[in-house]
Amino acid sequence: MKKHLFHPALLAALFALVGVQLMRGQTAREMPEQEVKGRAEIRRLASSSSADDRHSAVLQLAASYMDYRLLWQLMNDDAPDVRLAAIGAMTWESCTAQADQPLSAELAQKMAAMLEKEVTPERIRAVFEHGSAKDHDSGLITAAAETLNYLYLHHPVQQSPADYAAWQRRVLRPLFLAAAGGSGKGAPSAQRHACMMNLFRHFNDPALLAETLPVVLQKLDSPATPAGWLGGTLSVLWHHPLLGRDGPLHLMLFTQMAPRLEPLRRRILDATEEAQYQEAVSLIFSGYAGDIRTVREKLPVISGKQQPETAQAAPAADQAAGSGATAAEAPDGKMAQPQPPASLSSEQRQQKRAELMRLAASTAVQDRISAAEEMVSGGIDTGLFRKLLHDPTHEVSAVAMDALVDACHEKPCLIPLEEARKMAALLEPEVTEERITTLHEGKDAQEVEHRVYMTCRAALALNQLYRQYALLPSTSSYGHWQEEVLRTLVIYLAGDYRDPLGKNDDLVLEALRAITDPAALLHTTELLREYPNLDDITATRQLYYVEALWTHPLLGEGRPMNLVLLQQLAPVWEPVRDHILRNTRDKDRPDPKAAGLLQRMDAAYGKARQQLDLRPAVK
């Protein structure tokens, strides 16, 4: 358990971690002979009858080299402290060990199955319900959840990205809230606070962070929270993968922390008289303030008498869309399994499929189009789709691709797992980097236009298949794929100088809406102002892009990453806004719809600058 992160006696050391990295085990591989002896010693300790020796074996596994089979053995140790350490070892921040053999899918499944039993709703209630959790029990359930999250995210445990997002909401969020709660009686629990913050570090869905960050802020604001815990809590926030200073959602944190920073600094300083400690605290808070000030200075100062208005909260259904929740969930929070259309019996589906194959083989174009339009109703068949996809008539192949995209977006998806695997293998060659970057090669304009359309639609279908099924090596691979394929597609098409009228804008924005990984979305939007030269295209196209971005499931008004959008558009916002107002007019006046949208965006910029004001809020 990483409880030491919040131990008051080590708070100064924690602050000193800024700019300092712990390099445990850095000499473990200096000499082969030393390495062999070290491995032998760890095996000896792991087989010792002494619980202290076995505990030491866990520490050395994490510090020098990782033997997953030996770690699995220690995860099932009879000694509670040994088992707790082994369960949490892979997620320790100090774990720098390199494994000789990667964690196998079989062993990862075993670990996940064992850990899932530790984080059931019943276990969570039993440990935290009465507000008097024992350190070992709360430490074990937290370590199990952290390691399970790590396995689901980085190792070949069969979880689709949608399953993983549902699991975080179904298990990690209730566990975080349980640790953050309490009976309200007696002194605050350092152990519970540590559990809460350790769990918070793993939230990686923008909508989930928007829901849980206020809980952490409430702890920071509470006079009952000991001053000795504030520094550690701030450090976790400032180094969070998404919310931290280098994360794509840092504005979500900065706008909340700006008015709180000075009162928190005073509380921490007032709790100690040690000069060296006070100097370190002041230095760190100066860095925090500098981060916020730098961001604020990049936002435009909106002229005029407009007053910032509070953005309307997105409807509940839209918030679900903002988190990327595109697949239906069963009552227990797990992803619902795809079912064939209930209206047809097995025999009827076979008859329907035979009829579709007949139509697909017809020489009449309309028959083949009919086969493409209805291919989902007979049950997805990869062979039929392949035939239609490569049909010489563009309209047939386009209709087939559209039918597949529609089927992938059904809730739940209508494509069985085995067919989804085959379909993904069929689509993957259509969206390679080479394919995307050579889309416009060729003299036949219609052929080029068809190739662009089919590649974009193939990417959207593949994105949905990857999201809803465990077809990639790990859940984290999904975000990398979105960045490599969808981001490349968006930027390449949006920046195409051969498309000055923006004929492909619909495809560009459809691909942009499909990106749900925060890092991939950040890296895409930071280039959108240059491609398609947002401040140098027609006002009509500018308005079209701005409208689409302002209603994006994650970037749009009232959505979790709206501040990211404002930050990325800031360098070009004022010339773009003024150009739209001058050139989209209704008779002699600016178009009222455009003017209303731009006014709301101006208000959002004003509000963001106001929130980033480092002066404490007046109560």
**Mean pLDDT for the stretch of residues 348-356:** 84
Residue type, 342: A
Q: For residue 166, how many other CB atoms are within 10 A of its CB?
A: 21
Share of the chain above pLDDT 90, in %: 57
* Phi-psi category of residue 48: left, alpha or beta, with phi > 0 → left and psi -120 to 50 → alpha: beta
Pairing of strands 65-66, 98-99: parallel
- The secondary structure of residue 484, as a DSSP letter, is I
Cβ proximity of 111 and 147 under 8 Å:
yes
Contacts of 274 (CB under 8 A, 6+ apart): none
- CA 615, distance to chain mean position in Å, is 32
pLDDT at 99 over 80: no
pLDDT at 9 over 70: no
Cβ proximity of 121 and 172 under 8 Å:
no
User: So what's the pLDDT on residue 460?
Assistant: 96
pLDDT tens per residue across span 517-536: 999 999 998 888 888 888 88
Contacts 24+ apart (CB under 8 A), 440-444: 440/496, 440/498
Two structure tokens written together for 593? 């719809």
Q: For residue 507, how many other CB atoms are within 10 A of its CB?
A: 20
Residues 550 and 566: their CA atoms lie apart, in Å, by 10
Rounded (5°) CA angle 457-462-468: 130
User: So what's the pLDDT on residue 93?
Assistant: 66
Question: Which candidate, 323, 231, 334, 324, places its Cα nearest to that of 278?
Answer: 231
Cβ proximity of 463 and 514 under 8 Å:
yes
Cβ proximity of 511 and 561 under 8 Å:
no
Contacts of 297 (CB under 8 A, 6+ apart): none
User: So what's the pLDDT on residue 415?
Assistant: 85
pLDDT at 308 over 60: no
Two structure tokens written together for 40? 């032998």
Q: How confident is the model at residue 598 (pLDDT cuts 50, 70, 90)?
A: very high
- The secondary structure of residue 227, as a DSSP letter, is H
DSSP result, 487-556: IHHHHHHHT-TT-TT-TTHHHHHHHHHH---HHHHHHHHHHHTTTTTGGGS-HHHHHHHHHHHHT-TTTS
Residues 23 and 603: their CA atoms lie apart, in Å, by 47
pLDDT tens per residue across span 241-251: 999 988 999 99
Q: For residue 63, how many other CB atoms are within 10 A of its CB?
A: 21
First CA to last CA distance, the chain:
38
> Mapping DSSP to helix (H, G, I), strand (E, B) and coil, where does residue 589 land?
strand
Which H/E stretch holds residue 585? strand 585-586
pLDDT at 319 over 70: no
Residues 343 and 90: their CA atoms lie apart, in Å, by 48
Two structure tokens written together for 130? 């009465």
Tell me the average pLDDT of the chain: 84
Number of H helices, E strands in the chain: 32, 4
- pTM for the model stands at 0.81
pLDDT tens per residue across span 360-410: 999 999 999 999 988 876 667 888 899 999 999 999 999 999 999 998 888
Rounded (5°) CA angle 189-192-197: 125
Q: How confident is the model at residue 97 (pLDDT cuts 50, 70, 90)?
A: low
pLDDT at 562 over 90: yes
pLDDT at 279 over 80: yes
Residue type, 200: F
Q: What is the torsion angle, in degrees rounded to the nearest 10, for the CA atoms of residue 129, residue 134, residue 135 and residue 140?
A: -70
CATH class (in words) of the domain with range 35-243: mainly alpha
Contacts 24+ apart (CB under 8 A), 501-509: 502/532, 502/537, 502/538, 502/541, 502/544, 503/449, 504/452, 504/456, 505/541, 505/544, 505/545, 507/452, 507/453, 507/456, 509/545, 509/548
User: So what's the pLDDT on residue 228?
Assistant: 93
Integer CA distances (angstroms), 131 to 5, 126, 127, 134, 596, in order = 21, 10, 8, 9, 50
Cβ proximity of 46 and 70 under 8 Å:
yes
Residues 511 and 455: their CA atoms lie apart, in Å, by 11
- For residue 412, whether the previous peptide bond is cis, meaning omega lies within 30 degrees of 0, is yes
